[in-house]
Amino acid sequence: MALDFPASPNINDTYTFGGVTWTWDGTTWKVLGRFQFTSTETDPVFSASPANNILTQNITNWNLAYGWGDHSAAGYLTSIGGIGGHTDVTLATLQDAQLLRYSVANARWENWTPNYLTSYTETDPVFTASPAGGITGTNIANWNTAYGWGDHSTQGYLTSLGDAAGVTAAKIANWDTAYGWGDHSTQGYLTSVALNDVSDVTITSPSNGEVLTYNGSGWVNSAPTGGGGANVTISDTAPGSANAGDLWWESDTGRLKIYYNDTDSTQWVDASPPLADATSIGGQGTVSMRASIIPDTNAAYDIGSAEYKIRDLYLDSGSIHTPSGNNLSFYGGNLTWGGDDVIMLQDLKDMMANATSFEDFKNAIMGL
């Protein structure tokens, strides 16, 4: 007959089979030994062990804390000194296998030789093989305290030196040297200077447009004389402010302008090229052309207009090109459109008037 342990035992429940008795410790069935007692045994060693109070929730919490990472690499406290150095511990002559036991009367922990049952030696393979075998009350207290600190993996602790990783001993030595030079902010170094503060410059009641002139011993302010003192600006747009005599090269049209005061107003006036409308051709006679006329924008300008027409257009054996791809050409005295001869309307009328038959009319056209 096979062993048939109770399905839902309570702690310290026993089960006997074949002269052997087991007891349930909450996790496993333990053999009590070949010698049986008539009363229920309470194991003072196990019940006095700190592991007796370990709950499933404790194990869950410890597993969770294990998942937070190796705290030993975080620089936490790794040593708290010897037990005897604590204020609430009194150690007399120590002996092997002694324990610490708390004395309420003395309000302290004292070393103590346990007087547990020693009539037989129990070998407990389950407990000694378990990782919990070495757990102490201090371990449990520390783990509970650490668990209460929260999940360290989410706290954003420093994991690298960042920019400080580039700090070298040489740099630190240089910084220490610079620090030894003293606080520069208290040395009165020059942080700004006005022109009038310069030793060889004297400025008295300056006016707009005045310049500094050297008088043989120093620089003084005075109105500009002669051609000097003018400002020259190169820009597509007029300068924001100007004085009479300033020059402006209008870079998008290639014209030089001067700022002119005509006694009651000031304005920019063309100075070069000659003062004429750049888009007009004036005077009598002809205009010579030494290059092609190419507009700067496609299909934007006309030659003549509906009101002002070009009188005559003289062409060599060239063509007038159209967007359709057909060309109006003049060659050998003939006018062609897209390669075909163009018949003038008056010539067509004359051929129709002189023809006596359709055949005569056709021959006249073919003879062109």
> pLDDT for 164-194, tens place per residue?
878 889 999 999 999 999 888 888 787 888 8
Tens of pLDDT, residue by residue over 224-239, are 765 556 788 888 999 8
- Say if residue 321 is exposed, middle or buried (CB neighbours under 10 Å; 0-12, 13-18, 19+): exposed
Rounded Cα gap, residues 143 and 140, in angstroms: 5
Rounded Cα gap, residues 122 and 113, in angstroms: 19
Sign of CA dihedral 202, 203, 205, 210: positive
Tens of pLDDT, residue by residue over 267-283, are 888 877 654 554 555 55
Rounded Cα gap, residues 194 and 318, in angstroms: 73
Q: Residue 107 has what pLDDT?
A: 92
> Which of 93-102, 239-248, 284-293, 303-312 has the lowest average pLDDT?
284-293
> Which of 156-160, 234-238, 340-344 has the lowest average pLDDT?
340-344
365, 343 Cβ separation under 8 angstroms: yes
The CA radius of gyration of the chain, in Å to the nearest whole number, is 57
Rounded Cα gap, residues 170 and 176, in angstroms: 10
Rounded Cα gap, residues 41 and 118, in angstroms: 14
How many CB atoms neighbour CB 225 within 10 A? 9
CA atoms within 13 A on the CB side of 143: 17
The answer, yes or no, to whether residue 120 has pLDDT greater than 80, is: no
**Mean pLDDT over the full length of the chain:** 80
Q: How many residues does the chain have?
A: 368
The amino acid at 359: E
Residues in CB range of 211: below 8 A, 6 or more apart: 221, 222, 223, 224, 228, 229
Q: Residue 36 has what pLDDT?
A: 46
Residues in CB range of 103: below 8 A, 6 or more apart: 109, 110
* Overall pTM > 0.75: no
Q: Residue 278 has what pLDDT?
A: 47
Sign of CA dihedral 38, 39, 44, 49: positive
DSSP per position, 174-241: HHHHHHHT--GGGTT------GGGSTTEE--S--TT-EEEE-SSSEEEE---TTTT--EEEESS--SS
